[in-house]
A and B are shown apart, each in its own frame.
Chain A
């Protein structure tokens, strides 16, 4: 059901982005990357935040299920993070003529956040399965959460003005149709991420249960 809603919303967002939203006077057609690039980036932040929240719950309540939930959320965050970097890089090439700009704090801090959570998997799979792995992974996931607001607000704190600021204190700097399209795309990507999170979590839980069952039967 959630997957069907996600598919319908993604379809609607694509139609709105290409056929309803007006073309940007400054950037032209390449601005249409914005409708998926920004929601994907926000979803990546949300997934990393969700993973850290589950890690905190694991350390607090000591319930084993939070370890898997934290791991799956961070895995989702890494996928959406990779998509943010890929779509952002293509948009940068279209707008600035460069695939990557090291002077932009927003870009570099997002890359640091992405690499930090990519290293999470190396750490996790270097420790044998059990409570120690769960605890170490949870502590690492919690440390990473500090990077999220730094990366998110870097665009406002930075003075380079390379990366555009669309949302200011005066509100969104776009037309009503553009903002509506953005909101639909954001909802679509969020529901899609939730659907993928649920499917992956279900698969992992099934896998763990089957392993236990096999051990009991053989």
Chain B
């Protein structure tokens, strides 16, 4: 691999890695929101069955 090719690979790699990190962060956030929604739904269910 020539030095020019290495720099091109590095530039495209940086974009790919940064977007991957962003997607992982968003996915983690969505997992948390899903868990919190389930907890709140459970809480609402308990409330309605309790009174």
Contacts and interface: CB of A to CB of B under 8 A. Distances in A.
Query: Is B truly associated with A?
Result: yes
B11 A207 contact: no
Interface string A23-56: 0000011101100110010000000000000000
In terms of DSSP, what is the predominant structure of the interface of chain B?
Answer: helix
Contact of A203 (B14, B30, B37): B30
B14 A90 contact: yes
A132 interface: no
Contacts of B8: 29-30, 32-33, 94
B10 A196 contact: no
In terms of DSSP, what is the predominant structure of the interface of chain A?
Answer: helix
B18 A79 contact: yes
Contacts, number: 65
A213 B47 CA distance: 14
Interface residues of A, number: 30
B3 interface: yes
Interface in A152-185: none
B20 interface: no
B26 interface: yes
A36 B36 contact: no
User: How big is chain B's contact interface, by range?
Assistant: 20 to 34
Nearest to A199: B26
A36 B4 CA distance: 16
A82 interface: yes
A87 interface: yes
A161 B29 CA distance: 45
Given A94-B3, A217-B47, 13 more contacts: A29-B8, A33-B7, A36-B11, A36-B12, A37-B11, A79-B22, A86-B11, A90-B7, A90-B11, A200-B26, A203-B30, A207-B29, A210-B36
Interface of A: 14, 28-30, 32-33, 36-37, 40, 79, 82-83, 86-87, 90-91, 93-94, 192, 196, 199-200, 203, 206-207, 210, 213-214, 217-218
Interface of B: 2-5, 7-8, 10-12, 14-15, 18-19, 22, 26, 29-30, 33, 36-37, 40, 43-44, 47
10 contacts: A14-B12, A29-B5, A30-B7, A33-B7, A36-B11, A37-B11, A79-B18, A90-B7, A199-B26, A210-B33
The 10 closest A-B pairs by CB, nearest first: A94-B7, A29-B4, A90-B11, A33-B11, A30-B4, A87-B11, A86-B14, A90-B10, A217-B43, A203-B29
